[in-house]
Structure 1
Amino acid sequence: MLVRLVVMAAMILFLWLAVRKAKVVPGRLQGFLEMGLDFVRVQIVEQTLGKERAKPFVGMFTVIFFTILFMNLAGIIPFLNVAGTSRIGMPLVLALWVFVTYLVVGVRRHGGGTYFKAQLVPAGVPGWMLPIIVPIEALQLFVIRPLTLALRLVANMMAGHILLVLTFVGTHTLLFYSEAAMVPVGALTFVSGFAATLFEIFVAGLQAFVFTLLSAVYLNFSLEESH
């Protein structure tokens, strides 16, 4: 929780510094932020939902993307060294936010009966199969979608954290507590630790993108006339 609070404070500070003197011709920090905002708006939300349907949801998905990205990057920050998303609490809260949103949006757009019928009863399924299909579709709608969103994120970030711990603890042990013959191996694990750090940066961005993209896809399912 302390890491999460520190990361949220850092993110708010970054956003404030970037926009406090916003200009038509942006400086480096403002330009970097606008590039990120445009990426979420254009490459994720508008590409998935369409330009017009995306407008009400750009803010939500921007918050989700940047929150996950900053929380993920905490895993490689010295003295923090753990991603805020490597424990289930925050991924689960974000997944539940997406879950409630796509249910509410679907019911508002189509009406409760029409929406849940479209989601739970696939077109063309014989009546005798409905007792089997409907529970499966309900499980997917109410459990699998939000749960897999949360678990995918927490599993990837936890795995990255464990990998970094193993490489750097292994380096420390091999360099300071092993026989002289093992020192070259310690140097190798030290280099591997930096490679793992670079990979973790890539994974941090990728998981923020994947979570946001899948959330937009699930919301798009609720907005479509047929599924």
Structure 2
Amino acid sequence: MSATATAAGLIVPMAEDSHFPPTPGDFWQPLFAIPGTDYYFTRPMLLLAIATVVLMAWLWLTTRRAAIVPSKSQWVTEQVYNFARNGVARDMIGSKDFLPFVPFIFSLFTFILLNNLFGIIPPFQNPTMARVGFPIALTLIVYVVYHWVGIRKQGGVGKYLGSLLPGGLPGWIKPFILLLELITFFITRPLTLALRLFGNMFAGHMLLVVFIIGGWYLFKTYDPALMAVAIPAWILGVALTAFEGLVQFLQAYVFALLAASYIGGALADEH
């Protein structure tokens, strides 16, 4: 039984073959093999598809009859959009250049947020971004966008790379600074962007699973003392679930914020 399914032990009866403590291998949840290949369609892939459909339906249903005086659903959508537009894109990219990138930043924020929240929403209870391949894919998109923007802004690859160097540097130190800048822009930024999101979602979900499953294992010992300890473990699990919801929002916000920051830096006259 998977760790995610086991974490739902308070809602769905637990199987006898569930185990404790959970391991990273529990996040591998294949649903079926793709015919003729060695690849599998996994539960996180299904959740990713569900998130895409839910977001499409949400945007269509709340904007199909858009009016100057908005309905409640339209107002909610507008608040989320305005948060991404004004609180992220305009603040980080600048009021001059931000508008073309608002749909991209809005899409990143809402898509990551919903997939993160799947970690605490029954019956999903699996944050998609806890599988490292998904944050890497999103990071690659951001990576291509901000480098493409910078190359177009500077008028070519050579000029773009040259713009990474601050002005006024002695000639002998420029190769060293350029090397550091190349490592930062082409390796460190994408690596930390992906791993930050993955690490927080993975660690948070593992923590919830530990408290919920751990409480169950204590409870089913039928030792009165250990059963008494299980109750605080479950209470703490509920509290951590609320805290995890905050972390999931913050990680979506930080990812969108950094993506906008990188785009803003690429558009700046000087890096």
TM interval, shorter chain, is over 0.9
Q: Percent identity?
A: 39
Name the residue aligned to 1:204: 248
Partner of 1:149: 193
Say if 2:152 is the partner of 1:108.
yes
Unaligned runs of 5+ in 1: none
Q: Is 1:117 paired with 2:194?
A: no
Q: Which amino acid aligns with 2:127?
A: A
Secondary structure of 1:52 counterpart: coil
Runs (4+) of structure 1 moved beyond 4 Å?
Answer: none
Partner of 1:2: 46
More helix by share: 1
- TM (norm. structure 2) is 0.80
Aligned to 1:226: 270
Does residue 173 of the first structure (1) align with residue 217 of the second (2)? yes
1:110 corresponds to which letter in structure 2? Answer: Q
One-letter identity of the residue aligned with 1:94: L
Per-residue CA distance 1:85-111 (angstroms, 9 max, x = gap): 111122111111111111111111111
For the aligned residue pairs, the C-alpha RMSD in angstroms reads 1.4
SS in 2 for 1:34: helix
**Residue aligning to 1:49:** 93
2: CA distance, partners of 1:187 / 1:21: 49
Partners of 2:192 and 2:153 in 1: how far apart?
A: 25
Tell me which amino acid in the other structure corresponds to 2:257. L
Give the aligned partner of residue 84 of structure 2: 40
- SS of 1:23's equivalent in the other structure is coil
Shift of 1:7: 2.1
**Deviations for 1:175-209, whole angstroms, at most 9, x for unmatched residues?**
22241111221110111111111011101110011
Secondary structure (helix, strand or coil) at the match of 1:77 reads: coil
Letter in 1 for 2:117: L
How many pairs does the alignment contain? 226
Q: Aligned runs of 1:60-75 on 2, under 5 Å?
A: 60-75=104-119
